[in-house]
């Protein structure tokens, strides 16, 4: 007797694990004695995916499993590419991934008990500004931007963690306040954050914060005047920055015509474009290209490295995965019946979306290049943990969404069908 059975997302998990194993097995055979380390990482990461997925579907039933699976798929591509570039980096990245997903699960557990997070605007605002100022005082300069601090041998990028605080601060004001006067503290706070980021030369982060701020403002107030005002202000500030600040002009010029100074200012973009072009549709084959020539191939330019070796088809699929991930985040925000939760979910989804757009756009010369990481793919502990925090905010919104009368909570996010037969 056959029953009509809905397939669960297990098949997606198995495909992700198959991809992960295939990538690492291929890399293991690259060196002449088989590289055991690659096989160990393959097994370990696959186990982490499987265990995390089981935890999600058994303990956090309302939480969106597709978001988790997309994160697994993206991080798997990242692990394989990092291992191909540098084995040690990949091992550390796996550690960051485990740390990130632990933080994520901790947030999910805490979110069941945490209520009233919307009352602490002042704490969020002060903490954000202090964290943003820290690198200016005790920071180290890396890649042109002074936004790193050293903590016990590890370098941490505080602006990554401020993302969450910034969203919380913005949402805690916007959840009920609408008038210009009430929004003034928020405007001041946002302006201070932007100015600090400009001074630290972290233009990518500034662009992302600004975009997220405008989106949250529009979502909360539906007031097009605020949005137009912010955009005009941003345009004016951008133009002044272009005229006044040398490094902004260099970026814009390198974007408009990188070939004019292909060995100097335009070097990064030129190398990135050559890499993507030489890969073509199908890619040069894993281990056969020269992605190590691209500057910052492990962090900011990992998308170009992936496009070279895996091909444009997979690069396009990665963009599609981010689309789905952000779309699901927005969908969760829409289903929330608490304005604060809905706003932080919108903010977190927008944050991930703009971060992806800014770096992929920069790498393919769609917009001026600014150094931010590709969430879940680029190497970076701060980035990985912060991205997991943003997803944790989105997913905890689902947990806090109260079911409407007489309907089971599962109904809100779509039913989970036929697990047991």
Partner 1 sequence: MRADIYEVTALSSRYIFIILIYIILYRTIKGIKMEYALAAAGSAKPSIEPSYGILSVVECLDGVSTIWAGMEFPIKEWNTIGRSRDNYIIIDRDDVSKQHAVIYVEDKKIYIEDRHSKNGTFVNGKRVKKATRIRDGDSIAIGPVMFMVKIPAATKNREIG
| 68 touching partner 1, by CB under 8 A | no
Residue 242 binds to partner 1 (criterion: CB under 8 A): no
Q: Give the span between the Cα atoms of 53 and 60, in whole angstroms.
A: 10
Name which of residues 20 to 59 contact partner 1 (CB under 8 A): 22-23, 26, 29-30, 32, 34
Which residue, chain included where needed, has tokens 């989106």? 215
Give the containing element (helix H, strand E) for 156.
Answer: strand 154-156
Of residues 21 and 198, the one with the C-beta less far from partner 1: 21
**Total residues at the site for partner 1 (CB under 8 A)?**
51
Our finding on whether 314 is near partner 1 (CB under 8 A) is yes
Smallest distance from the beta carbon of 36 to partner 1, in angstroms? 14
Q: Is 15 in the site for partner 1 (CB under 8 A)?
A: yes
Q: How far is CA 99 from CA 75, 105, 378, 382, 383, in A?
A: 13, 10, 15, 10, 12
Residues 36, 38: Cα–Cα separation, whole Å: 5
Q: Judged by CB under 8 A, which of 162, 321, 372, 391 binds partner 1?
A: 321
Q: DSSP state, 117?
A: G
- The per-residue b/e assignment along 52-67, b for 16 or more CB within 10 angstroms, e otherwise, is bbebbbeebebbbbeb
Between 34 and 240, CB nearer to partner 1: 34
Out of 63, 69, 197, 305, name the contact with partner 1 by CB under 8 A: 69
Judge whether 204 and 372 are in contact, CB under 8 Å.
Answer: yes
| Single residue of 90, 286, 350, 359 touching partner 1 by CB under 8 A | 286
The pair of three-digit structure tokens given for residue 75, joined into one six-digit string: 């991080």
User: Measured from the CB atom, is 4 or 181 closer to partner 1?
Assistant: 4
Using CB under 8 A as the binding rule, whether residue 287 contacts partner 1 is answered as yes
Compare residues 19 and 242 and give the one whose CB is closer to partner 1.
Answer: 19
319 binds partner 1 (CB under 8 A): no
Residue 9 in the binding site for partner 1 (CB under 8 A) = yes
Q: Is 337 in the site for partner 1 (CB under 8 A)?
A: no
Helices (H), 148-223: 158-174, 180-199, 203-221
Query: Please, what is the minimum distance in Å from the beta carbon of residue 18 to partner 1?
Result: 6
| CA 354 from centre of chain | 8
Taking CB under 8 A as the binding criterion, the range among 3-11, 51-59, 217-225, 386-394 that sits at the site for partner 1 is 3-11
Residues in the chain: 421
* Token output for 157: 């990028």
CA angle 371, 374, 377 (to 5 degrees): 135
* Helix or strand holding residue 149 (H, E): strand 145-151
Q: Examine residue 5 and tell whether it contacts partner 1 (CB under 8 A).
A: yes
Does 138 participate in binding partner 1 (rule CB under 8 A)? Answer: no
| Burial class of residue 339, CB neighbours in 10 A (0-12, 13-18, 19+) | middle
Q: Interface residues with partner 1 (CB under 8 A)?
A: 1-7, 9, 11-12, 15-16, 18-19, 22-23, 26, 29-30, 32, 34, 66, 69-70, 73, 77, 282-283, 285-288, 310-311, 313-314, 317, 320-321, 324, 328, 405-408, 411, 414-415, 417-418, 421
């Amino acid at each position: 007797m056959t029953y009509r059975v809905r397939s669960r997302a297990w098949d997606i998990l198995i495909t992700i694990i198959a991809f992960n194993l295939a990538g690492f097995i291929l890399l293991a055979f690259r060196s002449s004695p088989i590289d055991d380390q690659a096989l160990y990482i393959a097994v370990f990461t696959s186990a982490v995916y499987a265990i995390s997925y089981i935890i999600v579907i058994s303990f956090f039933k309302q939480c969106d499993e597709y978001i988790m699976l997309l994160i697994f798929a993206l991080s798997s591509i990242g692990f394989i590419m990092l291992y191909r570039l540098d084995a040690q980096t990949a091992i550390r990245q796996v550690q960051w991934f485990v740390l990130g997903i632990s933080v994520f699960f901790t947030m999910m557990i805490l979110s069941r008990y945490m209520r009233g997070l919307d009352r602490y605007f002042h704490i969020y605002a002060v903490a954000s500004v202090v964290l943003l100022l820290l690198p200016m005082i005790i920071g180290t300069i890396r890649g042109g931007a002074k936004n790193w601090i050293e903590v016990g041998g590890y370098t941490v990028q505080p602006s990554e963690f401020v993302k969450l605080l910034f969203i919380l601060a913005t949402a805690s004001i916007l959840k009920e306040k609408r008038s210009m006067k009430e929004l003034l503290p928020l405007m001041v706070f946002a302006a201070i954050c932007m100015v600090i980021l400009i001074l630290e030369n972290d233009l990518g982060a500034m662009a992302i914060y600004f975009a997220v701020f405008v989106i949250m403002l529009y979502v909360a107030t539906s007031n097009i005047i605020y949005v137009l005002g912010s955009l005009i202000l941003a345009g004016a500030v951008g133009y002044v920055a272009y005229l006044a600040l040398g490094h902004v002009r260099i970026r814009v010029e390198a974007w408009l015509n990188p070939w004019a100074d292909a060995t100097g200012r335009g070097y990064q973009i030129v190398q990135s474009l050559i890499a993507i072009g030489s890969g073509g549709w199908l890619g040069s084959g894993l281990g056969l290209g020269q992605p190590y020539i691209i500057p910052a191939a492990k962090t900011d330019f990992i998308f170009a490295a992936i496009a070279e070796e895996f091909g444009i088809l997979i690069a396009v699929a990665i963009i599609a995965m981010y689309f789905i991930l952000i779309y699901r985040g927005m969908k969760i925000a829409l289903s929330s019946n608490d304005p604060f939760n809905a706003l932080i979910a919108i903010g977190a989804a927008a944050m991930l979306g703009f971060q992806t757009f800014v770096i992929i756009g920069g790498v393919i010369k769609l917009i001026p290049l600014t150094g931010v990481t590709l969430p879940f793919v680029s190497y970076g502990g701060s980035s990985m943990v912060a991205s997991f925090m943003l997803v944790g905010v989105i997913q905890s919104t689902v947990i806090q969404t109260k079911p409407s009368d007489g309907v089971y909570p599962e109904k809100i996010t779509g039913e989970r069908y036929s697990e047991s037969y």
